[in-house]
Every structure is written in C-alpha cells, then in structure tokens.
Amino acid sequence: MDVFVGVDGGGTTTRAVVVDEDLGELGRAEVAGSVVTVRDPGPAAEAVAAAVREAAATAGVGLPVAGLWAGLAGAGAEVPNTAVTARLEAEALARHLRVGTDVEAAFHDAFPSGPGVMLVAGTGSIVWSRNPSGETHRVGGWGQQLGDEGSGYWIGLEGLRLVVRAEDGRLPETTLRAGILRHCGASSVSDLVAWVNGAHKSEVAALVPVVVGHAKEGDVGAGHIIDRAVSALTEQVRAAVDEMDGSRANATVVLWGGLVASGGPLEDRVRAALVEMGVACDPRSVDPPMGAARLARELVRSHRGARPIA
C-alpha cells in the first residue's frame, strides 16, 4: 500500500501527516519550524526531515514513502525552492518529492477541487484563488519590502511609525507610545530604532495585540492603522474575486492565518467588510498538512500516468 506525507512548515512549527491512498490519516508529528532561505536551506530541510520521520514512526510506516509534498514558508521563489528541494532529496524520505509554499498546502485543503478564494493573513498576507477553469491566481504575497499590506508585520511596523511621527509632532500624541515602549523593553522612542533594526519579522508582528488593544480603547492613530489593514486585506480579496469571473456573489472565501482565522483579532472586521462587498465567507476549518498530503498523492498519481483527482 502506498502512503503519502504532507508537510506544512513555517517559522514557528513544522507539521507532517501520513495518509493512505484514501487520505485516511495514519499518523502526525510536529517539530520546531524554520523558514526557507537561499543562504541556508539546511534548517528548513532538517525540520521537514525530523517531522516526516517522527510522523512515519507514529504511523508505523517505513521510509521512503511513495510521495512527499512539503509546503514551506519562503519556498515560493525558484532559487530557495531548488535549494531546499536538493537538501530534502538527499534525505531519501520519499520516492517522489515536491516543495511548494505553505499557502498552497492550506488552499488545497480548503478547496480540494473547484473554484475558491483564500485570504491568508498572519505575519504576512496573500490571497490565493482558483477559477472555474482550474487556473490559480495570486494577489499580494510580495514580502515585507514590497507588500504584506494588512499583515501582522505591516500593522506592527505602522504602529512603530505612528509612535515616532507623533514624537516628532507630525501626528497627534498617541497612547500607543507607552504600550509599544513597554512591549519592546525600550525606555525612549529613540531606542525603537535599534530594536526594529534587530527584530525578526515575527517580533514586529507580535506588536499586533498592542495596536489592536489601543485601537479598541479609542486611540485615533491606532484605530486608523486597523482600518487601513482591513481595507488592504479586503482589497486583495476584491482583486482576486474580480480576476476569477467578476461575479462576487458566486465567490467562496475562506479566511486563514492568525489575524483573520477563527478568533483572530481582525476576523469580525474583515468578514463584515467582505459581506459589505458582496462576498460570502465560508467558516470551514483548514488543515494545511492534509492539503499537502493531497498534493503528495496527486504527485505520485501523475508519475504513474494516472489523472490526478481531488
């Protein structure tokens, strides 16, 4: 019996699931994560290998498995994808292997087949869609320098910018000043320069609860940041839906990621904005490793010469 492994890997965790031909779950594992980088793809490959081996042991299956599909944060561009794929091939985990993005893995669980739109908003932001013809389309996801509007990183950075501009007198005073200084362990606004220069993307995104909290307490500047974040995220969905067929009433949108998934700080605002736009949100849950496992099965079937099915 062929078995398949799907992996969902990010900066925090790497999760693997082992399934059979019918996508019945045989075992799971979770280990520490690592984002793929061109300079050093090793840590991400090691995290995937550790998760796959642990999941296989839990499932009681041997390696190599028939197929492995790993959806990894940072693997969207060709160069880092090639680098981490080469490292994983050396691990002899599967007879057929492919590396894609964590967004693709999540999307293929939310929408195994047919058209759909997924808004992912966590540390970064992106919208992924599939039209009725089966063609996929991406909006956003251009990274912290060129995009990620409305994301956790964007909100955190805008909060920092609000504080320094208010310090200059270019903007009104903000209660966010005290909250951000406390969160960053800074004694003055000047200290924020060194803090942000040394901060990881996720550390900047961790400022989201501070900004959201002050917005709820009535700080005008913080509230404006959240308004702009909601607008940016819904505009990405608008572009994706309009690209599909122009009919918003027929679009199904799933929200995923720490900002907008169930219980996320922007979930209610984004859902309301999408309803106002004429787009319905589907509350279905998302299991990215299972989406990756589905892709692993399709990968093996395509090599057999059989038509991949959902």
Q: Which domains does the chain have, with CATH numbers?
A: 4-100+287-304 (3.30.420.40), 114-278 (3.30.420.40)
pLDDT of residue 308: 42
Instruction: Read off the pTM.
Output: 0.85
pLDDT of residue 7: 96
Residue 155: per-residue pLDDT = 97
Tokens of 51: 């998760």
CA distance 121 to 144: 13
| CA 118 to each of CA 52, 105, 180, 228, 271: distance values in angstroms, whole numbers, following the listed order | 26, 11, 31, 20, 13
Query: CA-CA distances (angstroms) from residue 145 to 16, 141, 281?
Result: 30, 10, 29
pLDDT at 309: 41
Nearest to 181 by CA among 217, 207, 152, 208: 207
Do residues 147 and 232 lie in contact, with contact meaning Cβ atoms separated by under 8 Å? no
Count CB neighbours of 272 within 10 A. 13
Name the one residue in this structure whose structure tokens are 């940072």: 74
The alpha carbon of 270 is separated from its chain's Cα centroid by a whole number of angstroms, namely: 17
Q: Is 245 helix (H, G, I), strand (E, B) or coil?
A: coil
In the chain, what is the straight-line distance between the N-terminal and C-terminal CA atoms, in Å? 19
Give dist(CA 48, CA 43) in Å, integer.
9
Mean pLDDT by 10 residues, the chain (310 residues): 92 91 95 78 89 96 95 87 92 94 91 89 90 86 82 96 95 94 94 92 92 96 97 94 69 89 93 89 88 95 60
- Return d(Cα 212, Cα 210) in angstroms, integer: 6
